[in-house]
Amino acid sequence: MIRTRFAPSPTGYLHIGGARTALYAWAYARKHGGKFILRIEDTDLERSTPQSVQAILDGMAWLGLDYDEGPFYQTQRMQRYAEVIQKLLNDGHAYYCYCSKTELDRMREEQRRAGLKPRYDGRCRGLDKKPGAGETPVIRFKNPLEGKVVIDDLIKGRVVVSNEELDDLIIARQDGTPTYNFCVVVDDYDMQITHVIRGDDHLNNTPRQINILKALSASLPQYAHVPMILGQDGERLSKRHGAVSVMQYKEEGYLPGALLNYLARLGWAHGDAEIFSLEEFVTWFEITAVHKSAAKFDPEKLAWLNQERIKMMSEQQLSQLVHTFLPSGFNFSKPSLENVTKLLKERVHTVKELAEHARVFYETPSPNADLLKQYMNAQILEHLMALRKPLETLDWERATLHAALKQFVKERGLSFAQIAIPLRIVILGSTQSPSIDAVLELLGKAETLHRLDRFLADAA
């Protein structure tokens, strides 16, 4: 059975790159009827925090990337790591290294002066000495001195690394705690991971990890190293490019399906398909189809995709999301929040933006002073005062409103915009909205006249 895993370090939030890696590993397991495992690699005790762990769990839950096993925590597996380290020592695949920091620094400096790559030279490799009282050596893995490590990467293709390029990796620090590269190997071995799908920043670790797995007589997983995500400027993705917490996208009003849809397409494609469901993605996805080159993160493309997904949602579902962005004290039955959502959803990119536009239907906005200065004068004020009476006598339906406004501007020799824009400013506090007749119909006669009267009274 195929078994994949997502193994973030809880030293920060779940970011875009991590979410895409998790999506690919999750989809590969789902497509092939396998298992998806969540593992929290929290051995960096100084930087790992419970808040970061929770941020990862929250991000996975919001995205809907459910896991079959876990979360497993490395800090709860220390006894197991110690057992495997002892086994490697007993089998002659690891050794104690007594070199001091001063000695190692001197060794590396000599190598640099000689034009060599700084690396541990194995000087303790042949020692057959166990630690004495007061001695706290590190433990190193005895890397093979000859041969090659061949990685048939499912994305990168064949990667060959000579063992001569690899030095003897520290697998346990002076205080006995295991190192990252070692813990990863033991975890993948114990959890029977068949496919390691991870960022290509880990590719340099893979030859070392393979050699440790071989020393344990373990089956080797298949590897797939996903290229990194770059900003539009070609630089490594950072906060200034939009590489924020996955949960911040939730707070900004993005839909989880839209974010997953975008991340799926960020380095993978299925023909010309741009918008698709998670179920379709699982059906189509193959890890070997992931592009070898880095992808560029485009916030505008994500916003467009989110807008399209918003348009596809039912008003009932969407209004429930909009509700979470609005104060609880509003009366959402007058007008119906579903009807407001229906009117506005074609014009927005996020649910948060939709909520901001919907808010003016439930609280009277203050007219913007700059807009009034630009669009309002004595003549326009007189037009609005003249409009008040016919509005009061109308049957309050969109078609009737449209006809009345059209007749009014015709009689006064105005363009439609000359009355519609000031009316928007007075009623909604802005110049932008759907068709003014649709807005007025939804707002209702009583509320529309109330807002108009208030403005006219203040302007008198």
How far is Cα 298 from Cα 136, in angstroms, rounded to an integer? 50
Determine the 3-state secondary structure of 146 from DSSP: coil
Residue 158 bridge partners (DSSP) = 152
Comparing C-alpha atoms, which of 359, 351, 352 is closest to residue 330? Answer: 359
Is residue 334 part of the annotated active site? The answer reads no
Strands of 289-408, DSSP E: 295-296
Determine the 3-state secondary structure of 222 from DSSP: strand
Backbone angles phi, psi at 327, to 5 degrees: -60, 145
Rg (CA), the chain: 32
What angle in degrees, to the nearest 10, is found between the helix axes of 206-215 and 180-190?
50
Catalytic residue among 87, 148, 214, 239: 239
Backbone angles phi, psi at 374, to 5 degrees: -80, -35
Q: Which residues neighbour 104 within 8 Å (Cβ) at sequence distance 6 or greater?
A: 120
* Count of Cβ atoms closer than 10 Å to residue 55 Cβ: 20
* Count of Cβ atoms closer than 10 Å to residue 79 Cβ: 7
How far is Cα 318 from Cα 355, in angstroms, rounded to an integer? 10
Alpha helices in 397-444 (DSSP H): 398-412, 416-428, 436-443
Place of tokens 């590993």: 25
The answer to whether the beta carbons of residues 237 and 297 sit under 8 Å apart is: yes
How far is Cα 389 from Cα 182, in angstroms, rounded to an integer? 81
Q: What's the gap between Cα 346 and its chain centre?
A: 24
| Residues with catalytic function | 239
